[in-house]
Amino acid sequence: MNAKVKRRIESLSLNLLALLLIVFIVGPLVWVAVASIQGENELLRQPPRIIPHNPTLDNYNYVFTGKIPTAYEVKGQLRSRISQEARLIPQALKNSFIVATSVMIVNLIIGSVAAYTFARKRFPGKEAMLNFILGSRLLPVMAVAIPYYVIIQTMGLLDTHLSLILVYLALTLPFTIWFLTSYFKGIPVDFEEAAQIDGCNTLQALTRVVVPMALPGLVAAAAFAFMTSYNEFLFARFLTQSIDSQTGPVIIASIAGNPDASYTLISVAITLGLIPPLVLAIILRRRLTEGLSTSITFR
């Protein structure tokens, strides 16, 4: 009786904690989603309404089709005072997504290969290389922003996706490698040894044996690479010059910084910007908690 009650209390308090966490995590985002379907005036009341009285999809309509929402129509003026930059959101998010996905894939491929080598092999220069890779991230980026610009400009890559991909690779690879190296080390080496006896070379051991077991770690590294690239701002605003390559954060900053800024449009931008990572999260979440199955035994 006692143990059962204890377990019930335990379960209840844990659930309560989880609920609080969910509210803390999701609260601001729910607010943004709610704000995106309101008119600007409703938003600026004191206090603002959580449940909108007149929900409207006008704002989304404007972003995708250019139809001015009724709240902004002004009779007799040639152009209404709505942020034109909001129309650039879909293209900007597309840029963000392309860049982030590319960085993620390249990170996974060359990052895991290199990390596996660092985890399993011993060779001269290994320490130096690892320290070099990790040390490259120590200096705060603003000190090197200008040289980075010069490099990209010399390569003729200003205002392209490739420039961002390269820079983000340099920013994310060190951490990916560090993490995966440690992660691979945590996997018992027996299976690879068995595979090598069966004739696999290093690369095959990696792909056929280690990767399935290291899935949660790889997923974590992939998510890190994707998110870091998707969210990066300093270089995105410095190295891009037009909507050809401007990413989500840059456009949102523009919308938020102009005199005709409107919180409803900013909310629309943020809400739309959440969709690609959300899709990624749903795809990856199962992989994240698959792990070493219980069938692993030790000799």
Partner 1 sequence: MAHVQLGASIRRRLKLGRQAYPYLSVIPVLLVVALFAIYPILHAVRMSFFKYLLTRPNDHPFVGLGNFIEVITSYYFKNSLEVTAVYTLAAVSGVILYGLGVALLLNTTIRLARPLKVVILLPWALPAVVSGLLWKWILNADFGILNGLLMALGLIDSYIPFLADPTLAKASLIMAFIWKEGPLVTIFFLAGLQLIPDEYYEAAKIDGGGAWTIFRYVKAPLLRPVFLIVIVYETMAAILTFDTIFVMTGGGPADSTALISWFAYAEIFKGLNLGHGIALAILIAAITLGLIVFYLRALRSEDAAA
Partner 2 sequence: MTIKRSPSRLFPLLTAIIIAALVAGCGAPAAGPPEAEPAEPAEPAAGGESAEPASLDFVVWSYGIETIQDNIKNFQEANPECQINLKDYSWLEYHDTMVGRFAAGDPPPLLYGSDHWLQEWASAGWLAPLNEPFPQVADYSGELAPYALQGMTYDGDVYGLSYYADTIDFVYNEDQLQQAGFDAPPQSWQDVWDMATALKEQGITEYPMILAFSQAEGASIEAMISMIYGRHTGEDALFDDANQPTFAQEGSAAHEAIQWLKEAYDAGLLDPASLQTAEIDQVKSMQSGAHTFTILPQYNMAELNRPESGEFAGKFRIALMPGDSHSTVGYVRFYAMTPEAAAMGEDALACAWKFLEYFGGKTDGNYAVVKRWAVENGLGFAQLPLFEDPDVNEAFGTWGDVDVIAQQAELARAKEGLTPWFGAWDVFTRAEIHKAILGQQSTMDTLNNMAAKWDELAQQ
Looking at the Cβ atoms of 66 and 131, the one nearer to partner 1 is 131
Per-residue string for binding with partner 2, 136-165, x by CB under 8 A? Answer: ---------xxx-xx--x--x-xx------
Window 246 to 265, contacts with partner 1 (CB under 8 A): 248-249, 252-253, 256, 263
Q: How far is the CB of 49 from partner 2 (least distance, A)?
A: 13
Distance of CA 61 to the CA centre of its chain: 26
Q: Which of residues 30-59 bind partner 2 (CB under 8 A)?
A: 40-41, 44-46
Residue 39 sits in the site that holds partner 1 (CB under 8 A): no
Q: How many CA atoms lie within 13 A of 192 on its CB side?
A: 23
Question: Is residue 157 a contact point for partner 1 (CB under 8 A)?
Answer: no
Q: Which is nearer to partner 2, 213 or 270 (CB)?
A: 270
Site for partner 2 in 190-229 (CB under 8 A): none
Minimum CB–partner distance for residue 84 and partner 2 (Å): 4
Which of partner 1, partner 2, none has residue 290 at its interface (CB below 5 to 8 Å by kind)?
partner 1
Residues in the chain: 299
In the region spanning residues 262 to 291, those forming contacts with partner 1, defined by CB under 8 A, are 263, 266, 270, 273-274, 276-278, 280-282, 285, 288-291
Residues 108-147 as x/- pattern, contact with partner 1 by CB under 8 A: --xx-xx-xxx--x-x-xxx-xx-xxx-xxxxxxxxx-xx
Interface with partner 1: number of residues (CB under 8 A): 108
Span of 72-80, 167-175, 192-200, 212-220 interacting with partner 2 by CB under 8 A: 72-80
- Of the residues 241, 275, 283, 286, which one makes contact with partner 2 according to CB under 8 A: 241
Q: Long-range contacts for 14-20 (Cβ within 8 Å, ≥24 apart)?
A: none
- Phi and psi at 216, nearest 5°, equal -60, -40
User: What is the per-residue DSSP string for the chain?
Assistant: -HHHHHHHHHHHHHHHHHHHHHHHHHHHHHHHHHHHTS-HHHHTSSSPPSS-SS---HHHHHHHH-PPPGGG--TT-SS-SS-GGGGGHHHHHHHHHHHHHHHHHHIIIIIHHHHHHHHH---TTHHHHHHHHHHTT-S-HHHHHHHHHHHHHHTT-TTSHHHHHHHHHHHHHHHHHHHHHHHHHTS-THHHHHHHHTT--HHHIIIIIIHHHTHHHHHHHHHHHHHHHHH--HHHHHH--STTT--HHHHHHHHHHSTT--HHHHHHHHHHHHHHHHHHHHHHHHHHH--S-TT----
Binding mask 56-75 for partner 1 (x = CB under 8 A): --------------------
Q: Which residues bind partner 2 (CB under 8 A)?
A: 40-41, 44-46, 71, 74, 77-79, 81, 84-85, 87-88, 124-125, 128, 132, 145-147, 149-150, 153, 156, 158-159, 237-238, 241-242, 250, 253-254, 256-261, 263
